[in-house]
């Protein structure tokens, strides 16, 4: 992991097309802004993990449905 120190309104650039700017520091919270192409999905980690779990569950349900369909064919 790369750890960088930034002040408010300072930016880092990732892969020539993503900019992460430190917008505000208030107590123990930090507000960042991310400027990236619309084709690049950006999620908070807890949401990303929920999406992954939902996809896994959906894949398990598809497998079960396929098995049931084959039984009745």
The answer to whether 34 and 22 are in contact (CB under 8 A) is no
- For 57, other C-beta atoms within 10 Å of its C-beta total 10
| Tens digits of pLDDT across the chain (73 residues) | 999 999 999 999 999 999 999 999 999 999 999 999 999 999 999 999 999 999 888 777 766 666 667 777 6
Q: What is the pLDDT of residue 8?
A: 97
> Residue 9: how many CB atoms within 10 A of its CB?
10
Distance of alpha carbon 35 from alpha carbon 11, whole angstroms = 10
pLDDT of residue 65: 64
How many of the other CB atoms lie within 10 Å of CB of 22?
18
Q: What is the pLDDT of residue 67?
A: 67
Structure confidence at residue 59 (pLDDT): 75
Give pTM, 2 decimals: 0.70
Which of helix, strand or coil describes residue 58? helix
């Amino acid at each position: 992991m790369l750890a960088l120190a930034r002040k408010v309104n300072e930016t880092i650039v990732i892969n020539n097309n993503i900019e992460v700017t430190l917008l505000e520091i208030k107590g123990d919270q930090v507000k960042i802004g991310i400027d990236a192409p619309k084709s690049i999905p950006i999620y908070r980690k807890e949401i990303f993990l929920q999406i992954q779990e939902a996809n896994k569950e959906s894949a398990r349900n598809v497998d079960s449905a396929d098995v049931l369909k084959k039984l009745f064919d």
